[in-house]
Amino acid sequence: MKRMTPNSSTALHARGRHDLPAGVSLLNNPLLNKSTAFTEAERDRLRLRGLLPPRVFTAQEQAARALAQFRRKNSALEQYIFLTALQNRNETLFYRLLLDHIEELMPIIYTPTVGEACVDYGGIFRQARGLWVSLRDRGRVAEVLRNWPNRDARIIVVTDGERILGLGDLGAQGMGIPVGKLALYSACAGIHPYYCLPVCLDVGTDNASLRASPYYLGLPQPRARGAEYDDFVAEFIGAVREVFPKALVQFEDFGNRNAFALLHRYQERVCCFNDDIQGTAAVVLAGLLSAARLTGRPLREQTLLFFGAGEAGTGIGEYFVSALKEEGVTEADARRRCWFVDSKGLLVKGRGDTLPAHKAAFAQDGKPVTTLAEAVAQIKPTALIGVAGVGPAFTREILEQMAAAHDRPIIFALSNPTSKAECTAEEAYTVTGGRAVFASGSPFAPVNLGGKTYVPGQGNNVYVFPGVGLGALACQAATVTDSMFLAAARTLAAQVTDTDLASGRVYPHLNSIRAISLKIATAVAEEAYRSGLARRPRPADLSADIQAQVFQPEYREY
């Protein structure tokens, strides 16, 4: 059995040293290129003499130069373009920089800047990365997958671009999401970039302005629906199982209708998960577990009100219910602690509209109201969770209501990017007099109030999905289950220290993300072995075995 190769260039391992390219071909291979760090002997041996400036630089010197170049850029989007170019020419240096400066660079590689990049992906396009599989490829999707140069993809992040963050339908320009997610897999969990494959399924777009744009990269036609769409995705999944049989598939930023349908259809048949449903739910559940330590009110005594009843919100609700059931609460009682406000108002029985299954499970007996403020006044939730992606919605009135009802109101403004956040950290802390337990989807700066500094937590899925993927791949899990995500949530919550809580954080520091991901990976693999889903024999020391498979962004001697 071939494992994920530890601490080495997997591209070199897979090809064999005798197949190592030389000259310009080597410099054009981002997995192998060391640029000015090639030694004098390597330059002679690999026909690089004259193709590089004569001075040899260390990896540390290269990283310092790259960081200085990054910081000289005048906007976040320019920084994104710079980092993308670096990734496309020297992946080892890119990941060294990202891992060493994760808190500074992650908002550029992923939220919120990746949203801006996707909106203008056609305008800033320089070089293709990943695979676009379009409706024109029907009947030969497996052939398209075989065009990918790395023959052993293990982790595939795929989107159809219909619901990119809170920005809506961006079609083929949603490719920035899989590219960014996989960069975080490698940086935060150490999955070698050789094994990572970003995919965008181009099924058209209903964004008329994109279809009319001369810079749009995808098919300028309306989005496929129904049987045509389902058959195309089915062909893609079948092709993945044929071409990359060891791959885990992560569904990302699909519209609500397809997100739930695809997860339901494939969850028990394929090694896959939906990060927007399951990853978000696990991260938020971890935040609620930490918040319970701050408020002194255990999870079973929390009442949640969600603004937004889509895949993120109802996914969180389902995991909250599962967590309470593990604590001995009946399912009916657990569901009564979850309330939702959608575009038509409070989600209650007899409202007069037909509810999809994911909403119907949370319809409550209650008075129908149409606004969030009315719902807060009626329910008096201990936690207000924003996942609607429509921008400022937690008004001063609503925040004052939360503060009046509870000593430590939980305010999670989770919508991305920053422009879609329900409120800012400053608003939450200021209106509640510093009593809010706050977390957000996009990063906010610390807030100084009355001489005390409050550090808002970022409920970012990066805390969970890289570790889940690493754990599933390390034990070769047949499927990825909700129980694995619940294990991940509890493991993440356990990493929050008393010092974190004292500053207001309900999530640990990102600079420890690799250690966190390893713990989550171990918990996920343990659950896979417990449930009989692991296809690889269990090693004597599971944590050490997983650690040995982790990629380190270090140059090899050629």
Q: What residues act catalytically?
A: 110, 181
Within 10 Å of residue 30's Cβ, how many Cβ atoms?
18
In degrees and rounded to multiples of 5, residue 334 shows phi and psi of -65, -45
Which residues are paired to 134 by β-bridges?
202
Q: Are 175 and 132 in contact (CB under 8 A)?
A: yes
Q: Tell me the CB-side half-sphere exposure of residue 396, using CA atoms within 13 A.
A: 2
Strands, E assignment, 208-334: 248-251, 272-274, 304-307
**What number of other Cβ atoms are within 10 A of residue 556's Cβ?**
12
Spatial CA neighbour of 392 closest among 440, 459, 330: 440
For residue 291, the tally of other CB atoms under 10 A from its CB is 28
Residue 229, CA distances (Å) to 160, 235, 254, 261, 268 in order: 10, 10, 12, 12, 21
CB 520, CB 468: distance < 8 Å: yes
- 157: which strand partners? 198, 250
Query: 41 is written with which tokens?
Result: 């002997």
Pairing of strands 338-342, 131-134: unpaired
DSSP output for 264-280: HHHTTTSSEEEIIIIIH
In this structure, what DSSP letter does residue 189 have? I
